[in-house]
Chain A
Amino acid sequence: MKRFSMLIVISFSFLLFACSLNDNQNQVGTGTTDEPLTKIRLPMGFIPNVQYAPFYVAVEKGFFRDEGLEIDFDYSFETDGVTLVGAEELQFAIVSGEQVLLARAQELPVVYVMGWWQDYPVGITAMTEDEIITPGDLRGKKIGIPGLFGASYIGLQVLLQAGNLSEEDIVLDSIGFNQVEALAAGQVDAVVIYVNNEPHQLRSMGYDVTVIPVADYAQLASNGIITNEATIDQDPGLVRRMVRAAQRGLEYTIRKPEEAFEISKKYVEGLAELDQDVQMKVLLTSIALWQAERLGYSDPVSWENMQDVLIDMQLLSVPLDLGKAFTNDFISD
């Protein structure tokens, strides 16, 4: 009896193991029309958020399915996504522009194939009564920043440069992702934020704030889709299909933000319970940063500017071949 039970357990374990072998990132599934779908695990770089509406719309409206793709959203860190794509473990990721240049400087063969955000979303916000309106007003102020790395740090450096300031002219505090709390509690005079997010949250809490957007002072390469050189060489069709579906999702979201917002509730747990007015403003402000004559287009000037900033910050020691860092070849008109 004991042996029989053991046999059952072992058989069941093998069955489970065999089933788990099917859970592969490149699993070919089937859609409703029995056409094979290529499963894509897509690192988003942040937690689920209404700002990812174009991708949620593209999934919900079947734009990815039309291209034979099945998207699996992965909310791991941005740097992990870049590393996995660079190591050819994944085909795509959503990252900010400076990550591409920093990665390529370390010989990660990543390529930016679709520009999603046209304006750099970083900015600085402060209470209105503190009268911090221009970058020059930051002199002598205590500024909270998530960390001394990433898009926030780069955005801060751009604003300091615009105000003829350096880090020695301010007091910098690494506060993690607690900008709203830190500013509301008066721990800092100003915080580095995403202009489409934290200011709306602060205003909804009754605080009157001013915002200094980086985009008013510099055009920089921002969030978009990356792939790696191997995928471009071996399967350019996959890249084209991925970009095309994402472009359709972006266009649809810009055209129908209310519907995009409702769709996002399915993918962002708790979105329906948050302040709907604030979240809708987050989406609408984001849309304003996505607008372009040609959706998905990467402006070479924004990449040159980003490289210059990184060299000034000594994050890059030598200029890179920008022609290999990004491409517009896969953008559909």
Chain B
Amino acid sequence: MWNYCDNTPRTNPFGVPFLRTLIMAGVNTVRNEKSSTLSIRRPMRLRLIVVPLSVIVAFVGWEMLARLGDFPTFLLPSPANVWDKFLQVAGNGVLTRHLLYTLAEVLAGLALGVSVATVSGYILAKSPTVERLMSPYIVASQAVPIVAIAPLLVIWFGPGVLSKVLICALIVFFPVLVNTIVGVRSVPDELHDLMRSLNATRWQNIKLLEVPAALPVFLGGLRIGATLAVIGAVVGEFVGADRGLGFLINRARGQYDTALVFVAILALVVLALSLYGFVTLIESRLLSWQKRPERYKYS
């Protein structure tokens, strides 16, 4: 980022260009927008073709493997078997019921885990002493596999939704915590000095500086947490549940209905991808100001 001749910055602290930068963009703006728009469209177009194509190729390969390998259905059901099973359980509401239950657990676990991790992360970011004190316990909590803790949580908190929500929250906690700490600490000291010079209150500091600055990194952690929360819900349901996609997988295994196992797994994949996509969408909305300087690039 270059400064004007009098050393004033070209953009404000959040990357939004100042007025005279806009004025000086002039004729170049249209040309730059065209070229930048073109350069954005090409990768998008390619992605729109390649991704569905790769999925189709994968399914065709799967069908061929199932047919040519002559595998019994209980070992490797074909996509056609899985589709038939999907229609059956979607039609009678079984899939929807279990999917919604797992989704509820995931969302509740995410909300709890993200809330606690964000607050804890901020405190740890601001206080090296607290961080030094708490770090061993936080790291230890992540070192223990969630599949080992899950049965204990079911014993302590019962087999209901609470234990599943806690498992989800636990699995989400660490990545969000770490990213919050990194995000808050990534704010340059100069900007803190600027806010101090403007007599900003603590709340103004948090709202106008630290939150916007930490948001990109924080949302990166949230994206990871969203997919991990799905894993947490399934682990909890494996240990003890009477509903949810994890329970559906267990039930299907017990009945040697491998096609239903596949349906439940694919439902989990769709769920995880949807959550990931949702967070990405939020990210693009909240961080749209980050993209603005590109439109005013000079040749």
Contacts and interface: CB of A to CB of B under 8 A. Distances in A.
A associates with B: yes
A108 interface: yes
Interface string B64-76: 0000000011110
Contacts of B256: 79, 82-83, 86, 102-103, 105-106, 108
Contacts of A315: 255
A147 B252 CA distance: 12
A108 B154 contact: no
A148 B239 contact: no
Interface in B64-103: 72-75
A173 B74 CA distance: 29
Chain A CB count within 10 A is highest, among B75, B155, B159, for B159
A178 B154 contact: yes
A310 B255 CA distance: 11
Given A87-B75, A147-B240, A176-B239, A106 B255 contact: yes
A102 B254 contact: yes
Contacts of B242: 148, 172-174
Most buried by B among A87, A175, A181: A175
Interface in B123-180: 151, 154-155, 158-160
Given A148-B242, A149-B255, A178-B240, A107 B74 contact: yes
B149 to A, nearest CB: 13
A82 B254 CA distance: 10
Nearest to B150: A176
Contacts of A172: 242
A106 B255 CA distance: 8
A181 B152 CA distance: 10
Interface string B228-266: 000000000001111000010011011111100000000
Given A86-B74, A148-B247, A79 B253 contact: yes
B74 A108 contact: yes
Nearest to A176: B240
Contacts of B158: 173, 175, 187
Contact of A173 (B159, B239, B255, B257): B159
B154 A176 contact: yes
Given A79-B253, A102-B254, A102-B256, A107 B72 contact: yes
Contact of A150 (B240, B241, B254): B254
Contact of B155 (A79, A149, A150, A182): A182
Interface in A162-213: 172-178, 181-182, 185, 187
13 contacts: A86-B72, A87-B75, A105-B256, A106-B256, A148-B242, A148-B251, A174-B159, A174-B241, A174-B247, A175-B154, A175-B158, A175-B240, A176-B239
Interface of B: 72-75, 151, 154-155, 158-160, 239-242, 247, 250-251, 253-258
